[in-house]
Structure 1
Amino acid sequence: MKPVILGSLSILFLSTVLTPVGQAAESGSTLYAPRVPSAPTTTIPQNLATIAAIYAPRAQRNSASRDQTSTQFGSRILAQNSLSSTRYNAILQQIESNSAQSSLSQGKLVRFKVRIENISTKDEFIASNGTKWTLDFSPGFWLVSNQTTPLFKAREQDRGQGIEAIAEDGNPTQLAQSFASQPSGVFNTAVGATKAGGIRPGQVFEFTVTATPGQKLFFVTMFGQSNDWFYAPRESGIALFDTSGQPIQGDVTTQVQLWNAGTEVDEEAGIGPTQGPRQSAPNTGVAENGPIQAVMLQAPYAQTNQVMRVTIIPE
Structure 2
Amino acid sequence: MSNQLKSALTLSVLLALGACSSDDDNDDIGDNVEQPDGSETQTISVTLSSAQEIPVPTGVPAGASGAADVAVDANGVVTATVGVSNLSGAATMAHIHRGFAGSAGPVLIGLSSDDGGTTWTVPEDARVLTEEEIGAFNRGELYFNVHTETNSAGEIRGQIDAGNATTFSVLLENISTTETLGVASDSTTQAVPLSPGVFIVHRDAADSPLLLPRDAANAGLEAVAEDGNVALYAEAVPGSVPFNTPVGADAPGPIGPGGAYEFTLQAVDGDKLDFVAMFIPSNDWFYTATDADNSLDLFVNGQPVSGEVAEGEIAIWDAGTEIDEEPGTGANQVQRQAEANTGDVDPDTRVSSLTGRGQTVNLNGRVLRVTITPQP
Interval containing the TM-score (normalised by the shorter chain): 0.5 to 0.7
The aligned counterpart of 1:138 is: 195
More helix, by proportion? 1
Q: Deviations over 1:220-256 (max 9, x none)?
A: 00000001100011243111111x2111111114321
Contact 1:158–1:164 (Cα < 8 Å) also in 2: no
The correspondence for 1:194, drawn from 230, 244, 250, is 250
Q: State the alpha-carbon separation in 2 of the partners of residues 259 and 199 from structure 1.
A: 19
The reply to whether residue 265 of structure 1 matches residue 323 of structure 2 is: yes
Amino acid aligned to 1:151: L
The reply to whether residue 282 of structure 1 matches residue 282 of structure 2 is: no
Amino acid aligned to 1:251: E
Q: Deviations over 1:7-61 (max 9, x none)?
A: xxxxxxxxxxxxxxxxx964215849xxxxxxxxxxxxxx97659xx99444579
The reply to whether residue 212 of structure 1 matches residue 268 of structure 2 is: yes
Give runs of aligned pairs for residues 60-75 of structure 1, distance below 5 A.
Answer: none
The correspondence for 1:176, drawn from 234, 239, 262, is 234
Q: How many pairs does the alignment contain? A: 233
The correspondence for 2:277, drawn from 209, 221, 227, is 221
- Structure 1 stretches lacking a partner, 5+ long: 1-23, 33-46, 68-102
Contact 2:289–2:313 (Cα < 8 Å) also in 1: yes
The aligned counterpart of 2:169 is: 113
Q: State the alpha-carbon separation in 1 of the partners of residues 267 and 173 from structure 2.
A: 22
Distance 1:126 1:56, change over 3 A: closer
SS in 1 for 2:222: helix
The correspondence for 1:238, drawn from 296, 299, 303, is 296
Q: State the alpha-carbon separation in 1 of the partners of residues 216 and 338 from structure 2.
A: 24
Q: State the alpha-carbon separation in 2 of the partners of residues 159 and 258 from structure 1.
A: 15
Q: Which range moves more in the overlay, 131-140 or 267-276?
A: 131-140
SS in 2 for 1:162: helix
SS in 1 for 2:225: helix
Contact 1:30–1:195 (Cα < 8 Å) also in 2: no
Distance 1:151 1:27, change over 3 A: closer
Contact 1:152–1:158 (Cα < 8 Å) also in 2: no
Q: State the alpha-carbon separation in 2 of the partners of residues 277 and 250 from structure 1.
A: 33
Give runs of aligned pairs for residues 48-127 of structure 1, distance below 5 A.
Answer: 56-57=100-101, 58-59=103-104, 108-122=164-178, 124-127=180-183
Amino acid aligned to 2:263: F
| Structure with greater Cα Rg | 2
Give runs of aligned pairs for residues 7-26 of structure 1, distance below 5 A.
Answer: 26=14
Distance 1:198 1:144, change over 3 A: same
Give runs of aligned pairs for residues 147-162 of structure 1, distance below 5 A.
Answer: 147-149=205-207, 150-152=209-211, 156-162=214-220
Q: CA RMSD in A?
A: 3.2
How far has the Cα of 1:294 moved from its partner? 1.1
Distance 1:60 1:123, change over 3 A: same
Q: State the alpha-carbon separation in 2 of the partners of residues 170 and 61 from structure 1.
A: 23
- Structure 2 stretches lacking a partner, 5+ long: 1-11, 21-42, 53-98, 109-132, 138-160
How far has the Cα of 1:178 moved from its partner? 2.0
Contact 1:148–1:237 (Cα < 8 Å) also in 2: no
How far has the Cα of 1:215 moved from its partner? 1.0
How far has the Cα of 1:298 moved from its partner? 5.3
Distance 1:48 1:314, change over 3 A: farther
Q: State the alpha-carbon separation in 1 of the partners of residues 316 and 326 from structure 2.
A: 15
Q: Percent identity?
A: 36
Amino acid aligned to 1:278: R
SS in 1 for 2:369: strand
Amino acid aligned to 2:16: G
How far has the Cα of 1:132 moved from its partner? 3.7
Q: State the alpha-carbon separation in 2 of the partners of residues 152 and 29 from structure 1.
A: 20
Structure 1 length as normaliser, TM-score? Answer: 0.65
Q: State the alpha-carbon separation in 2 of the partners of residues 49 and 61 from structure 1.
A: 22
How far has the Cα of 1:269 moved from its partner? 0.4
How far has the Cα of 1:277 moved from its partner? 0.7
How far has the Cα of 1:169 moved from its partner? 1.0
Distance 1:30 1:294, change over 3 A: closer
Q: State the alpha-carbon separation in 1 of the partners of residues 242 and 354 from structure 2.
A: 24
Q: State the alpha-carbon separation in 1 of the partners of residues 198 and 235 from structure 2.
A: 11
The reply to whether residue 254 of structure 1 matches residue 312 of structure 2 is: yes
The aligned counterpart of 1:18 is: none
